[in-house]
Chains A and B, each alone.
Chain A
Amino acid sequence: MDALRLLTPEITITIFAFAIISLDIAWNDENKSRRILPWLAFAGGLATLLMIFYIWPHVDQYNYTAATDAGREVPMLAVDRMSLFFKMIAVLTVILVGLSAGEYVEKHTPFRGEFYGLMLLAGLSIMLLVSSTNLIMIYLALEFLSITSYILTGFLRRDARSIEAALKYFLYGALASGVMLYGFSLLYGATGSVDLATIAGSLETTQAGLVVAAVILMLAGFGFKIALVPFHQWSPDAYEGAPTPITAFLSVGPKAAGLAVLIRVMVVALPAFDVNWTPILSLVAIFTMSVGNLVALWQTNMKRMLAYSSIAQAGYMLVGLAAWSAAPPSAVAYLGGVDAIMLFLLAYMFTNLGVFAIAIILENQMGTSEIADYAGLIRRSPYLSVALLIFFLSLVGIPPTSGFIGKLFVFGAAVNQGLYVLALFGVFNSVISVAYYFGVLRNVFFEKGSDESPIRVGVAMNTVVTITVVMTLLIALYGQPFIQLAADSAQILAANF
C-alpha cells in the first residue's frame, strides 16, 4: 500500500476535527444545526475506526524487513499491527468518551465545537505517537498529546478546579517533556541518528553509562504520560479537576500511548543492549502498583480514587514489560509480556471507560462524584449497580471478567521469566485493591441513600454502558479472538528485525 493510504485513519480524523471546529465557528449560537456537532465527532471516530479495519489486512503484505527510516514507505511512522492495535484503542476511547460526554458537555460549557474538535485531535496525537519510530516524531506527537490534554483538562475555564488542574498538569508536563528531551539529545549525540532502528545499530557497549542516563531521563517523559510512580503526582489533581469525560479519556488514552512508545523504544532501540533493564522496570512497577493501591484506600472522591486505581493498573501493565526485558538476550524477537500488556490494556480500556460512564451519569444527576453519594444506588438503578459490580470485579481481576484474563497473562509472563517476587507483588496488590473497590460497592448495595429517585440514563449513555459491560464479559468468556489479536499485534513488531 502506498503512504497516503496507510495514513487514511490519521487523515480522516484530522478532517473531521477541523470540520467540527470550522462548522462551530460558521454556525452562530442560535443555529440549531450545532446539535449535530457531537454526532459529527462520533461519525469521525467511526470512520477512522473503519479506516483502521480497512488497512488491517494489508499490513501483512507490507514489507517490514526494512526497519530503518530509509526503507519505509511512510517516513517516521511505522504502520504495523502493533500501532494499528493501539490506534484502535485510541479511537475506541475517543468514541466511547465522546458518546458519554454529550450531556455533561451540554450542561457545563457552551463551547461544544472546541471540545469535540480538540478531543479528535488528541486522538490523532495518540495515533501518531503509537506509530512513531523516530525521536523527533515521538517528541512532537507526545507534546501534541500533552498540549491537547492541557486544554481539555482546563476546559471548564470558569471552574477554578478545572483550570487549576490544567495549570498543574501543564507545569509538570512541560518539565517532564523537557527532561525527556535532554535524554533524546544525548542519544542523538551518541549515535548520530534520531531513528530508533539506526540507534539500535550504532550503540556501543562503551556507552552503557550514557544509555542508562538517557533512558532514565526519557522515563521521566514517558512515565509522566503513563503516570508511573514517581512521575504520578499530577494525575490525582488533574483527574479530579478535569471535566469527568476528559478524566475518562486521560485514564486510558495517554496511558496507552505512553506504554506503546515505551514498548517501541525498549523493543526497537535498546533490545540487545548490554544493560539489564529488569531491575529498573520491576522497581518502577512495584512502586507504581503499591503507591496507587495504598493511597486509593483513603480516597472519598470517586474521580480521585479512580485516578489512584488507574495508577495501580499502569503498574500491572509495566509488569508485562519487565517480563519482556527479563527474557534471555538471545531471544531478541521474543515478545511474551508485550502481548500480555496489549490484552490487559484492551480489557482495562472497556472496564475503565465503563466505570467512568457510570460516574458521569451519576454526576450529571447529582452534581458530585463523592463516593458517599453512591449510597443506595441499587434502589435507584439496579442496572448501573450491577454494571458497576462487573467493572470492579474486572479491575480487581476476578473471573469471569476481562480483567482476570489480562492479569493472568501479565502475571503469567512474569512467572514465565522467573520474576516470582514481581508477580507476588502484583497478586498482593490486587488483594489490597479489593478493599477500596468493595468499599464503593458496599455503599451501592447495602447503604441507604437520602435520595431514592430513580436514575435517568440517556440513550448514548445506555449504549456506552452496555457496550463496555458486554466487552468486559466477552473478552473473558470468549477470549480466544482477543488473545489472538494481541498476540498478532505483538508478533509483527518482532518481524521488524
Chain B
Amino acid sequence: MPFEIPFVQIVWWAMTACAIGGAIGVVSSNNLFHSALFLVLSLFGVAGYYVLLSAGFLAVVQLMVYIGAIVILVLFAIMFSRRMMKPTEDEMNRQWLVSVIVAAALFSWLIVVVNSVSWPVTSAAPTADTVLQLGLAFLGSYLIPFLVVGVLLSAALIGAIFLAREKVEAEEI
C-alpha cells in the first residue's frame, strides 16, 4: 500500500505537534493551571509516540500513571493554593534570558552529538508479545529492581503523607 507510510508520518507529525506544542505551552504559559493542562497535551503526544513505536503497554501506563496520577497530583497542588491559580504578570524568573541561551546551546549540542553517531540500528521487529516479556522480566532477572520500586514507593508514600499532613498537637515550633 503506497499510502501507508505517509499515514504513519502524518500521525507522527500530529503527535509531535501535541508533544512539542504542549511542552512549549508548559514553559511559556503565565498561568500555572494552563501549564498543567498543556502538560497533559504534551504527555498525550508522548503516549502517541509509544503507540507508533509499538510499545502499547507503555502508552497505557503513560496515560494512567503520568496523566492520570502525576498531573492530577500537580493540579491538586496548584488548586490547593488560590494564589497560584491566578495568572501572574511574570511567571519567569530573572534569569530567563540566560535559560533560553542554555537551552538553545543544549539543544544544538545534543543534535550534533546524536547525529554524529552511527547508531547500531537493526531492522528486526519486536516479538509479538512484549507484555508477556515484560512480565517475565519483572519476575525474573528484573525482580530486584521491581522489589526496590515497591520499597521506594512505600517510602515516598510515608514521606509525602508525613510532610503534607496537617499540624499535629505534639509538634513543637
Contact = CB atoms under 8 A, between A and B. Distances in A.
Are these two chains actual partners, yes or no? yes
Nearest to B109: A213
Contacts of A461: none
B168 A110 contact: yes
A166 B160 CA distance: 12
- Residue with the highest number of chain A CB atoms closer than 10 Å, among B113, B118, B154, B172: B113
B155 interface: yes
A209 B145 contact: no
A22 B73 CA distance: 26
Contact of B163 (A77, A154, A192): A154
A234 interface: no
A14 interface: yes
B172 A108 contact: yes
A140 B116 CA distance: 30
A60 interface: no
Interface string B92-130: 000000000000000001100110111110000000000
Contacts of A156: 173
A128 interface: yes
A118 B159 contact: yes
A446 B37 CA distance: 62
A118 B118 contact: no
A75 B145 CA distance: 10
B98 to A, nearest CB: 14
Contacts of A111: 162
Nearest to A163: B163
Given A186-B114, A206-B118, A213-B113, A140 B145 contact: yes
Interface string B74-92: 0000000000000000000
A158 B144 contact: no
Interface stretch (A143-151, A250-258, A307-315, A412-420): A143-151
A389 interface: no
Interface string A79-112: 0000000000000000000000000000111110
B148 interface: yes
Contact of B170 (A29, A74, A147): A29
A207 interface: yes
Given A29-B170, A114-B162, A209-B117, A76 B145 contact: yes
A114 B172 contact: no
Contacts of B141: 69, 75-76
Interface string B120-154: 10000000000000000000011111001101101
Given A148-B159, A151-B162, A140 B149 contact: yes
Question: Which of B142, B148, B149, B158: most chain A CB closer than 10 A?
Answer: B148
Interface in A130-162: 136-137, 140-141, 143-144, 147-148, 150-151, 154, 156-159
B119 A148 contact: no
B151 A121 contact: yes
A76 B113 contact: no
A140 B152 contact: yes
B148 A118 contact: no
Contacts of A110: 168, 170-171
A206 B118 CA distance: 8
B119 A209 contact: no
Contact of B155 (A107, A148, A159, A163): A148
B144 A74 contact: yes
Contacts of A140: 145, 148-149, 152
A137 B142 CA distance: 9
A43 interface: no
B14 interface: no
A146 to B, nearest CB: 10
A412 B152 CA distance: 41
Contact of A136 (B145, B168, B172): B145
Interface in A196-214: 206-207, 209-210, 213
B11 interface: no
B144 A121 contact: no
A124 interface: yes
B117 A207 contact: yes
B156 interface: yes
A117 B155 CA distance: 9
Given A76-B145, A111-B162, A147 B171 contact: no
B151 A77 contact: no
B144 A77 contact: yes
A21 interface: yes
A189 interface: yes
A21 B158 contact: yes
A190 interface: yes
A144 B148 contact: yes
14 contacts: A74-B144, A75-B141, A77-B144, A108-B173, A140-B148, A141-B148, A143-B152, A144-B148, A147-B159, A151-B156, A157-B162, A190-B119, A210-B114, A213-B109
Q: Which 9 A-B pairs have the closest CB atoms?
A: A151-B159, A110-B170, A158-B173, A213-B113, A210-B117, A75-B141, A144-B152, A121-B155, A114-B162
Given A125-B152, A158-B171, A209-B116, 10 more contacts: A107-B172, A108-B172, A111-B162, A137-B148, A140-B148, A140-B152, A143-B152, A144-B155, A148-B159, A158-B173
